[in-house]
Amino acid sequence: FDALASTDPEIADVVLGELERLRGGLQLIASENLTSPAVLAALGSTLSNKYAEGYPGHRYYGGCAQVDVAEELGVARAKALFGAEHANLQPHSGASANLAAYAAFCEPGDTVLAMDLKQGGHLTHGSLVNFSGRWFQAVSYGVRADTELIDYDQVRELAIAHEPRMIIAGATAYPRLIDFAAFRSIADEVGAILMVDAAHFIGLVAGRVIPSPVPFADVVTLTTHKVLRGPRGGMILCRAEHARAIDKAVFPFGQGGPLMHAVAAKAVALREAAAPEFGGYATQVVANAAALAKGLEAEGMRAVSGGTDTHLALLDVRGLEITGAEAERRCEAAGITLNKNAIPFDPAPPATASGIRIGSPSVTTQGMTEPDMAEIARLVGRAVRAEPGTATGDAEHAAVRDAVGRLTAAHPAYPR
């Protein structure tokens, strides 16, 4: 860090400022986590210098002996941890992993069936502003209005009607378990490839607290930076029969040289995730998300689908007569970071939204448990009820900020 501070004090200030932000506030963004110093060390290493187009043993550049070891270790760890026949650690991000999965199995113009963005799907699941909606015929399924759970009857009806080349299970804002066996049976019925986008929940699979999609899917894509607590990046797991197609779809189709510092950091994170303590972490992540959802319901919010089985919950905030965007803003003023989110059948536009999404991965990494979640829920409730710009509202936000400071002091992120 001294080298950075002397060469570029402005960026050094940003790095320190961000560290202070993490230390001083509560991070409830469901897709974020706090990586270990070991992962950060691999990320900040000279492996960043190395060009290594290709795969271990078959590179287009010399000098790859060391990075080959890192990638081979990472691939072996991923296969062992997830019981997968093949793993590719090179995707730069979750979106890149998804692009590769489409490229491995589909041609432009093919039909894909995936979850509606407005009901919890990801941009790469067929949104018109993304390659997936521009280059493919995307058909969307959603959740049932009564239960807010995936409508498997609708998935099957749409699959039979549209005969998609690929069906995608997985979401960005769905708090419940996904029935992979049901998706497998629908895919088999119509002869479709089954892709599971496990970006959000794969860390819970690694910790053995929720069922794995690996035995059911032809291909599983994931991000390494959410519950899994690795560096920002993507990964693909697949059956051996698809290994060549997947590898070619990542490189050379979608990417050039892999980011070897990130590949090495993924290997570190996989080693951490295979340790017994990670199972305890994942168990606590789920318990904490449930406690947060319960606490927020007591504050007058409605948990979409009635709760959560995972690391995240979606809360409908209309009962408090505010929007999701306003709730996000008020929490931010009180030192609590979370995001507004559309709820199923949301009457409000996405930029306003009627809900918030909360996640427990970061606060659990900080060692917080259910009683802390109850306290956080009370603080979120106070923050969203306080109107900024009024004397009482501003005082309330300052009081919540102080309480947040006491919680984070007791459970520091990146202890000094």
Q: Which residues are annotated as a binding site for (6S)-5,6,7,8-tetrahydrofolate?
A: 117, 121-123, 241
By the rule CB under 6 A, 170 interacts with ligand PLP: yes
Interface pick for ligand PLP out of 39, 100, 114, 199 (rule CB under 6 A): 199
226 in catalytic set: yes
Least distance from ligand PLP to the Cβ atom of residue 245, Å: 20
CA end-to-end distance (rounded Å), the chain = 15
Interface pick for ligand PLP out of 75, 95, 325, 376 (rule CB under 6 A): 95
> Cβ closer to ligand PLP: 92 or 318?
92
DSSP string, 254-270: I-SS--HHHHHHHHHHH
In the set 223, 308, 310, 365, the catalytic residue is 223
The total number of residues shown for the chain amounts to 416
Give the C-alpha separation, 97 to 82, whole Å.
17
Instruction: Label residues 237-252 b or e (16+ Cβ within 10 Å = b).
Output: bbeeebbebbbebbbe
3-state SS track over 276-318? HHHHHHHHHHHHHHHHHHHHHHHCCCEEHHHCCCCCEEEEECH
> Cβ closer to ligand PLP: 262 or 293?
262
272 in catalytic set: no
Structure tokens of 222? 């994931």
Q: Are 377 and 65 in contact (CB under 8 A)?
A: no
By the rule CB under 6 A, 203 interacts with ligand PLP: no
> Cβ closer to ligand PLP: 344 or 381?
344
By the rule CB under 6 A, 323 interacts with ligand PLP: no
Interface pick for ligand PLP out of 172, 308, 341, 365 (rule CB under 6 A): 172
By the rule CB under 6 A, 207 interacts with ligand PLP: no
How far apart, in Å, are the Cα atoms of 177 and each of 150, 173, 209, 236, 392?
A: 10, 12, 11, 20, 41
| Residues near 399 by beta carbon (within 8 Å), at least 6 away in sequence | 382
By the rule CB under 6 A, 116 interacts with ligand PLP: no
In the set 77, 176, 229, 232, the catalytic residue is 232
Tell me which residues are annotated as active site: 51, 53, 197, 223, 226, 232
**Which positions lie near ligand PLP, rule CB under 6 A?**
31, 93-95, 98, 122, 124, 170-172, 197, 199-200, 223, 234
